[in-house]
Structure 1
Amino acid sequence: MTGLDRRRLLRLAGTTGLGAGALAACASGAEGDPIASGPVTLDLWTHDPGYVTYFTSAATDPAITGDSAWKYSIATTSTSPADVVSRTINQAVAQRPLPNLTGLVIDQFPRVMRSGIAENLFVDLTDVAARFGDGLLKTQPYTVDGRVYAIESDNSISVMWYRADRFADLGIPEDVATWEDLLAIGAEIAADTGEAIGMVSNGDNGAIVNGFTQMLLQRGGSLYDASGELAVLSEESVEVLALMAEGVRTGALLSIADPYGSAAAAAIKDGRLIGTVMPNWYKVYGLEANAPDQAGLWRARTIPRFASGGHIASTLGGTAFAVLKDQAETDAALDFLERAYLTPEGQLARYGFGGYLPTLVDLYDAPEFQEITDPFLGDQRVFEVYAAAANDMPLFYQAADASLLRDSLGGPILRAVNGEIDPEAALREGLRAYERQVAE
């Protein structure tokens, strides 16, 4: 790989847990001259079978690739999100074949933000993204030193999902304006019925910090600023953590180990959880999967604002695709990604295959999306909600040491949520632990 600092990259790759045996198992191959047109097979690495299905279909969809200079076919490799990154790095270190397109889960992307890894492995997509200006959402998490290296698959818009039947029975207005008002109502409901209008995690560090970050972004705060500097210790962070603790104390927010696992599923099924703020994908994987008998009872709305400011939406999760550089198929892979991910036809098809929300903000008001009704949501025109949210999305920045920050903050945040420590003291404690690890 041209310009790749092999020694530095090898040291980093050593932390992935894939040693010489894994490298030896990879087949070798040679790069040829650029393929300018005609048949081309693109190797795709991803963790999600939904992307396999979509990309395989898009390759032969005339509306997406019909006028391309290339005729595409897709070869796929499926593995875990962490292994996608590990194998890509290790293959580059060993100078073995790389994928043409690789899917980077958002919390794995910081692993390529150091030591020039993204710059050396991936095509710089900054100029591609710049053509859309502010109309292309969620490029910030995949930006290194001001350059964009991957394109998001799903806007992962967080909205509020709620049981319309229970809200009506309990007299909860569907248009409660602020978090403060909603939690006050939720405290009364919890005392009377044991039902909760939201949840927070008390499980692993990832789930704990993800939940905090989702609310922090909505409030207008962030873990990092645009330059990659820490922004955790802020009035917004303290306010969010205090509000979470108050919600747990009163029972308005259900404290649960895994928002995506069996405990949450049970709470949804038995009606203890009648509302939650989660991204669009949670409707399929959290609500529909666990409570199909509740079809027609749930609705979506934008998130109540904080009384002191912020947004009506947030975000959590995501997967972006990068194009590997300096390969015979690089030009073809870039053309394919643009067609599949940055055209109206591609974004509409992507939603149809996996419910992946558009990243082109103008599409939220297009009739093709506005006219979509959702049976699980009582035939609600859900893009009316998504459109309002997409136009008020917070920005999300990352840095190379994001995983260290997550592990450092998880414990103190949980203690603050449980009322065992002051919110500001918890954040300072987490930052001290983070700074010690970064300094090592």
Structure 2
Amino acid sequence: MKKSACLFIVCFLAGITCFAQTLPFDNSVYRHEIKSVEFFNSKKQASFPVIDLGSGETVTLGFDDLSGGSRTFNYTIQHCDATWKPSNLSPAEYLESFTDDRINDYYYSSATFQKYTHYEVKIPNRNIIPKISGNYILKVYEDSDPTKLVLTRRLYIVGKRVSVSANIITSNNVAARRTNQKVNFTIDYTGLPVQNPNTDIRAFLMQNARPETGIMNNKPTYIRGTQLVYNDVNINDFAGRNEFRHFDTRTLKLNSERIAKIYKDTANTVMLLGDPNRNLPNYTLLYDLDGKFYILNQDGSDPRRDADYAHMYFSLASNKSEADGTPYIVGQFNDYKLDNNSRLTFDSRGRWYTNLLLKQGVYDYQYIWVSNASKQPDDIILEGNYFETENEYQLLVYYRQVGSRYEQLVGYNLLSSAKQ
């Protein structure tokens, strides 16, 4: 993977200053033959990978290896702080069991053009058991060699010790009332030994599980007894953005809503209808998955092994040329990476195009524009920005006890702008 793919781009895409920062751990895939990485709470496919400590809940990791055959993949988890820097702990301090394990469950593809091997593991299990709450990075590597990194995923383990209440309102900024969504929230830490609420507790808020949109709240607006209130007019104000685009390839026998043509020969080829620029004056209601994707095959019995791959062809009419900048196609399916794999190419007809090899299922995606002048990513210029957009927000509360060498994850709340 290119170095640019390892850049974690923190930016407020509604015109607020952006900057790039190299983080040690994020959601990344480091081998081109590894595809369709899923990581979710095992109760629900595509859900946010958060579980309660000691609850019996698990997360499921699944991925395909297109090189075929079977390989030796090992994995481990490492404790991190709220900003995803490694905690100053030894594995014995955050793991009850072994420090790493091998992925033993795998399945060979069946009746597919594209041959692959599907690997799967659930965590915690009898060999990998975290014993403290917090952020964990899951690392998968080959041949028991941690330097042969295959992929990384962010895992959130909550030891609930605070209560959180929140609501989503229109922006306090009059100029942004039609575009922005503001999140106000209160943390009640009753029973938690907090010496200085301004430094012991902080909260991270992100939109649609996208860390690059996240805002770290280091200090509350004010303190009311054991309640920390975060409602300053200038904080936690998010661009509403737009609903995601989508396509459906649960079957490759019939054209679905967004599919123009399906070709079958020695491989599957799917031509999607052209995508327009959606930065329009008014919001249009569309149902989406908030950026998620689901691996599904309605013509088979187990999509882990019988869902096929297809070369998906995308085209975009942006009214912009190579002299202006470059669009990228992103979603949870590619971890929102801006790299050569997600970059579109300009053709002689004045349109942008690309093709991606994707497994059957339902996918959300959007286009991000990077201007040649500013070099900054912007997902509003091609998609639009509306207060009415339905978004999910993940609120994570971290606590560092005085004298402790690590941060605990003590609270989590999932919000939806559609349920306010």
Does TM, normalized by the shorter one, top 0.5?
Answer: no
- TM class by shorter chain equals under 0.3
Q: Which structure features the higher share of strand residues? A: 2
- Give the TM-score normalised by structure 2: 0.22
- Give the TM-score normalised by structure 1: 0.21
Q: Which structure features the higher share of helix residues? A: 1
